């Protein structure tokens, strides 16, 4: 997986890194146990400050996406691993809150609950791909 950053984007660099790693995990490019580049190596490759990469890795760790293995570096967490479950639960609560805020913003712009649900389904289909389209209605998780 190739990580790149755009220093001219409005999104902070550490969030660009975080979002690309999360997308890599979601799409299967990064599997549980896969090592991530060292903080120094990634910072050097991207031409950015190592503290920026360290912040991205810390956010990923706090959200339960990666485990920090000391000198062995960062590895993609296994969602079934007990070590990452408590961070995942906290991250899930935060995602639920963000989804609630999006629903409120949608409603404030005059949208209905049904329209919001349609948009949410479309976003889920973009995230999961067309092969998972039937899972949303059957209640299965990917």
pLDDT for 1: 85
pLDDT tens-place string over residues 76-128? 999 887 666 666 777 788 889 999 999 999 999 999 999 999 999 999 999 88
Residue 51: pLDDT band (50, 70, 90) is very high
Query: What's the farthest any 2 CA atoms get from each other in the chain?
Result: 52
Torsional class of 28: left (φ above 0), alpha (ψ -120 to 50), beta (otherwise): left
pLDDT for 89: 78
pLDDT for 93: 86
Answer yes or no: is pLDDT of 136 > 50. Answer: no
Answer yes or no: is pLDDT of 142 > 50. Answer: no
pLDDT for 134: 53
Above pLDDT 90, what percent of the chain?
Answer: 70
Reported pTM: 0.74
pLDDT for 132: 55
Above pLDDT 70, what percent of the chain?
Answer: 86
Give CA–CA dist 5/47, Å, rounded: 9
pLDDT for 110: 96
CATH number, span 13-76: 1.10.10.10
133 token code pair = 């389209």
Residue 17: pLDDT band (50, 70, 90) is very high
Give CA–CA dist 39/74, Å, rounded: 9
Q: What is the mean pLDDT of the chain?
A: 88
CATH 1.10.10.10 in the chain, residue ranges:
13-76
């Amino acid at each position: 997986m190739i990580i790149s950053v755009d220093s001219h984007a409005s999104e902070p660099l550490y969030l660009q890194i975080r979002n690309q790693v999360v997308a890599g995990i979601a799409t299967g490019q990064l599997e549980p146990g896969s090592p991530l580049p060292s903080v120094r190596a990634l910072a050097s490759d991207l031409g950015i400050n190592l503290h920026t990469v360290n912040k991205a890795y810390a956010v990923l760790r706090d959200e339960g996406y990666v485990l920090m293995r000391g000198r062995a570096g960062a590895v993609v967490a296994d969602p079934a691993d007990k070590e990452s479950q408590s961070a995942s639960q906290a991250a899930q609560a935060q995602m639920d809150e963000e989804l609630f805020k999006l629903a409120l913003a949608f409603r404030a712009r005059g949208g209905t609950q049904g329209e919001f649900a349609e948009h949410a389904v479309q976003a889920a289909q973009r995230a999961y791909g067309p092969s998972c389209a039937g899972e949303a209605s059957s209640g299965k998780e990917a």
